[in-house]
Chains A and B, each alone.
Chain A
Amino acid sequence: MNEESRKKFDLAVQALLDSDSPDTHSLYVFIKITLGQFRLSKAYEVKDIIIEAYTRGIKKLQSGEAINIPLAWIRRTAYNVIRELRREADKIGYLDLDCVPVQNEINPLSKIEFNGDLKAMKIAFNKLTLEEQNILRLRVIDQLSWQEVGKCLVIVKEPVQSEGNLRQRGYRTLKKLRKIYDRLREDMPDN
Chain B
Amino acid sequence: MSNKHCPHSQINSHKTIIKFWYGGFVKEEYMQKSLLQAYDNYKQILHDYHKLISKVELRNEEAERMDKILEQAESDEILNFLVAEVNYIVGKKNGLFNNENVYEYKNQQSYLREYLEHIPRCLNKHRELQYELRIRGFYSGPIDGIFGQDSRTAVKSFQKNSNLQVSGIVDPETYQKLTHRNSKSQQLGE
Contacts and interface: CB of A to CB of B under 8 A. Distances in A.
Interface of A: 13, 16-17, 19, 22-30, 32-33, 36-39, 45-47, 50-51, 54-56, 58-59, 62, 68-69, 71-73, 75-76, 79-80, 83, 101-106, 110-111, 113-114, 117-118, 120-122, 125-126, 130, 133-134, 136-137, 140-144, 148, 151-152, 155-156, 177-178, 181-182, 185
Interface in B46-99: 46-47, 50-51, 53-58, 63, 66-67, 70-71, 73-81, 83-94, 96-97
B56 A103 contact: yes
Given A22-B88, A36-B56, A37-B57, A62 B144 contact: yes
A54 B112 CA distance: 11
Given A47-B108, A68-B75, A110-B50, A83 B144 contact: no
A83 B92 CA distance: 24
A121 B86 CA distance: 9
Given A103-B54, A117-B50, A141 B78 contact: yes
Interface secondary structure of B, over-half rule: helix
Interface stretch (B35-43, B132-140, B171-179): B35-43
B32 interface: yes
Contacts of A136: 35, 81
B25 interface: no
Contact of A72 (B18, B36, B70, B88): B70
Nearest to B63: A83
Interface secondary structure of A, over-half rule: helix
B121 interface: no
Interface stretch (B4-12, B156-164, B182-190): B4-12
Given A83-B63, A155-B7, A37 B56 contact: yes
Interface residues of B, number: 74
13 contacts: A26-B85, A27-B87, A33-B96, A75-B83, A79-B66, A101-B56, A102-B96, A110-B54, A111-B47, A141-B17, A141-B77, A156-B4, A185-B89
